[in-house]
Structure 1
Amino acid sequence: MKTFLLTCAVLAVTSLAGCAGVRTEVQATGMRHAPQGDLRYRFMRTPAQQADPGQPGWESQLRDALAQHGFSDAGDANDTHEARGAADATQGPRYLISVAYETRPTGIAVRSAKCANDAHICDTNDASHDASPFAGRYLHRLTLRFIDARSGEEIYKVTGTRLDRDAHASPAFGYLVKSALARFPFDGGRWQIELRETDDGKQADVVSVKPLAP
């Protein structure tokens, strides 16, 4: 009996530990081999990102993660170079990196058959969101696009997604940065990333990287 109870306790702890992990999904297209040589880059910003006070924080996390793969931010150096009127394009960054991040609800409205047959008798507020397994959940998506600074051609694109119940964008961002750069580059396709959960998501450790069926 004692052995049985001990076994149950161990299984319970293991189960709880498994639940504490964070899983994300990554999809990538483009280059399949790590680039060599010049790995300087500069972030591309939309007008909205330029005006967003939180943008430097996002970029700081990305900058640290990219540095682990040998990349260096040439933004400041390039700005100084341009300000001096230099015309040598080879002094600029090799890559331009576009960053897109969004958080949106994933609730799916499920309506009764009578609404489908006679929609005007049902108000949208009558839809049963609880009928959906995704009700009250949020999708966080981070997309990084690597563009050749000289040709303007997109050479690599990686998108990471996470589904949770947190409407705030900040906690998921760190996990998605870790996921999107868990390998650089990913060999195309879809991947499931498992990370160890942290209080802020910024220092999450990658536990496993597994390919998903197409």
Structure 2
Amino acid sequence: MNIDRWTRRATLLLATLAVLLSGCTTYVTTQVTAFSDWNGNDATRTFAFTRAPDQQNNLELATYERLVANELAAHAFREVDSANARYLVGLSYGIRSDLVTVAEPVYYNPWPGPYWGRPFDPWGPWGPFPTTYVNQTYPVFTHLLGIRITERASGKEVYNVTARNSGGESSLLRAMPYLARSALADFPLGNGVVHTVKIPRGKDGGPVNEMAATGGAPAAMPVPASGVKATE
């Protein structure tokens, strides 16, 4: 057997797999829940953000408001002074950390040396030995964004949507673009609708302009203003 030939083949195979994996698209999956009394009859959707007294100079909140404003603009909303706004938009947000324990397999091979594959090694790289498991603990972070829209004149709540996702991302700031886009992906959703939105993750870690929504509600048509499209 020509060992150098097998080594070259293995190297080429690993290189090919690396190229293929680098082209795979990863998604951020977000669960969206909406409660709605939206009539959809307004031709001009003017809005202003509303804040609690202790949030007036909150830079973090201002950053998230800009993300939400961009998503609202894709649905014909226009930000104006609060005195002239038809709607007031309030945000709530947060992050929670939990620990998840997973049993992972550990393989033992008392026979050192390279693995040549079948038919040379019929048991595979780990031999005919039983698999043992060890518990590994990992942090999981849950990110939350709530958007509440009320009529300024009457104070009536007309739309309340919550977006929630979980994963290894420890920064709420980096998760917020996905939450904002998911929350308003198919605006306006029906009352009591729960569905899932999947957004492709871009090379820079942020969302790209393609999105798929599944479960709970019919998909919205593409929105030309933002380049975002949703499919059932």
Q: TM-score range by the shorter chain?
A: 0.5 to 0.7
Give 1:125's aligned residue: none
Compute the TM-score of the two structures, normalised by the length of structure 2. 0.63
Q: Any residues of structure 2 matched to 1:1-214 within 5 Å, and which?
A: 13=20, 17-18=24-25, 20-31=26-37, 34-75=40-81, 78=83, 92-107=84-99, 135-188=138-191, 189-198=193-202, 199-201=204-206, 203-212=207-216
With over 3 angstroms needed to count, the CA separation of the structure-2 counterparts of 1:59 and 1:163, relative to structure 1, is: same
Which of the pair is proportionally richer in strand? Answer: 2
Displacement of 1:154 in angstroms is 0.8
- 2:86 partner letter: R
Query: Partner of 2:162: helix, strand, or coil?
Result: strand
Q: Which runs of 5+ in 2 are unaligned?
A: 1-12, 102-134, 218-232
Question: Equivalent pairs: percent with the same residue?
Answer: 25
RMSD: 2.9
CA–CA distance in structure 2, aligned partners of residues 44 and 32 of structure 1: 19
CA–CA distance in structure 1, aligned partners of residues 81 and 145 of structure 2: 21
Query: Deviations 1:106-134 (Å, cap 9, x if unpaired)?
Result: 3379xxxxxxxxxxxxxxxxxxxx677xx
Displacement of 1:46 in angstroms is 1.8
Does the 8 A contact of 2:91 with 2:145 survive in 1?
A: yes
Does the 8 A contact of 1:193 with 1:206 survive in 2?
A: no
How many residues were matched structurally?
168
Query: Deviations 1:93-113 (Å, cap 9, x if unpaired)?
Result: 11111111111113379xxxx
Query: Deviations 1:151-184 (Å, cap 9, x if unpaired)?
Result: 1111111100110112211110000111011111
Compute the TM-score of the two structures, normalised by the length of structure 1. 0.68
Q: Which runs of 5+ in 1 are unaligned?
A: 1-5, 79-91, 110-129
Which of the pair is proportionally richer in helix? Answer: 1
With over 3 angstroms needed to count, the CA separation of the structure-2 counterparts of 1:45 and 1:204, relative to structure 1, is: farther
Select between 165-174 and 50-59 the one with higher mean Cα deviation: 50-59
Query: Partner of 1:150: helix, strand, or coil?
Result: coil
CA–CA distance in structure 1, aligned partners of residues 45 and 182 of structure 2: 20
